[in-house]
Chains A and B, each alone.
Chain A
Amino acid sequence: MLKATDLCFRYGSFELKNINLNVEKGTFTCICGSNGSGKSTLARLLGGALEPKSGSIECDALRGLVLSNPDNMFVNPTVEEDVAFGPENLGRTSEQIRVDVDRALQLTGMRDYAKQTISTLSYGLKQRVAIAGALAMDAQYLILDEVTSMLDTRGSDMILDLILDLVKQGKAVVLVTHNTDHAVFADSVVIMDGGKIVAHGKPQKILNQRELMDRCSLRQPYTIRIADNLRLKGYPISSEAITPDQLEKEIRRCSDAYIR
């Protein structure tokens, strides 16, 4: 488990106050907040790039942190050399590094690009390489800071699919984002505002609170807005339906009931 207890951090006038958060293996947690809410600082603290001023972070396995701009994360020119950077630093044997690199490239679907120069890849593929770099170290907790912010919708969907795959394989993923459309797929959602966690719970419970979302300068996901509009028009859409698939099923159920 990745456990943050009473975490505090301060730089300049910004302060992150009393953050308490538990992340279990095999879960997908989404941290949402507007610009300046402290979500990236929290991501760096959880990822181990920053030391908290007070409080503690306990973790029972290796963590990996991926930042928004993949170009700022690469140390080596080719895909496999860069993915190998973490295991090399851990002093693993070259045979073990080869196994780790192959496994990470397989998990991220980047095996065909192993020998390619990173600078020739698209941003979406670069993000996959950055995630592979964390996976090669055998990180069980992945902290992804705004990894979809520089991607087009297709690239963004590719990364989301990858995240859901990794969660199925037992990794814990913490995605920091201001795009609430991704949060509907999470197991739990954390809303941050002014350096504090203002809400934490199941996405159905958090994302349906329009007032909370407005107060934190966040937009409700499209699926929830569509469901709200349909409810206003008298369709009995369940508030539990928040993903596109769930909403589609609800709309089919309502239209079948209407036809009958």
Chain B
Amino acid sequence: MLRRLHPLTKLLLFILLAVLVFFEKNPSSLILTLAFLVFCAAKGEIPPSKLIRNYRWMIFALVIGIIASTMVPAARLCLLLIMSSVLNISTTPTEIAYAVGMIVPSRDFTMMVSISLSFIPVLAEEASRISDAQKARGAKRTRAAVATVVPLFASAFRRASDLADAMTVRAYGTTARPSRLNTPRFTKTDLGAVLFTLCYAAAVIFVEVF
């Protein structure tokens, strides 16, 4: 069900939840938020293993929290990481870019966001390949890191140039109002999700105030 929601609904609700988490001081409201996220993940058919894919950062945040005796900020950070996992897994980069495009009505900006998101894994793979090549030629770990950056940038610029050519020949920018193959539509499910989230927000505020 979560995957069928309009991307703008998901993005706006994500922003609302993120803001709300920063006002949560009471452990009860933090547990309530965790329960809400687990419910969302279940509705989005997201396996628990994927929900805690950023577990290294969570452990890091919790250890810092224990050392500094400030568990609430550490718990907030963990909830934000889980929240971002839920959004990223249930929404494709194109959908996120589409939602951003509805907030910021500039197609170039939307395209920039969409391409940046889709090129992250490509560049990560390229960085790993370059790093392996440097190590194979005997570069030390710290030097290999430095020596990776220059070829990575060169490769990124080459890719950017190719992509720009490919977009030019595919008529990018020729019309002010490009159409879409699939246009997401708001449905009753979106209304239900908004109402349910508002009920949760009211419950959190109630716990925090009283």
Contacts and interface: CB of A to CB of B under 8 A. Distances in A.
Given A75-B115, A93-B179, A137 B171 contact: yes
B181 A101 contact: yes
Contact of B169 (A49, A81, A97): A49
Given A94-B181, A98-B181, A69 B169 contact: no
Interface in A123-182: 133-134, 137
Nearest to A73: B166
B181 A81 contact: yes
Given A77-B94, A90-B175, A71 B122 contact: yes
B168 A49 contact: yes
Given A65-B169, A89-B171, A89-B175, A80 B181 contact: yes
Contact of A89 (B93, B114, B173): B173
B178 interface: yes
Contacts, number: 97
The binding surface of chain B is classed by DSSP as helix
B177 interface: yes
Contacts of A80: 181
Interface string B139-177: 000000000000000000011001101111111111101
A86 B166 CA distance: 10
B92, B169, B175, B179, most chain A CB atoms within 10 A:
B169
Given A69-B162, A75-B111, A75-B115, A64 B169 contact: yes
B121 interface: yes
Contacts of B115: 75
A97 B183 CA distance: 12
Contacts of B158: 72
A93 to B, nearest CB: 6
Interface in A53-99: 63-65, 67, 69, 71-78, 80-81, 84-94, 97-98
B188 interface: no
B118 interface: yes
B180 interface: yes
Contact of B178 (A76, A89, A137): A89
Given A47-B169, A89-B173, A89-B174, A77 B179 contact: no
Given A49-B166, A77-B94, 12 more contacts: A47-B165, A47-B169, A48-B169, A72-B166, A73-B162, A73-B166, A75-B166, A89-B171, A90-B171, A94-B179, A134-B170, A137-B170
Interface of A: 44, 47-50, 63-65, 67, 69, 71-78, 80-81, 84-94, 97-98, 101, 119, 133-134, 137
Interface of B: 92-94, 111, 114-115, 118, 121-122, 158-159, 162-163, 165-175, 177-183
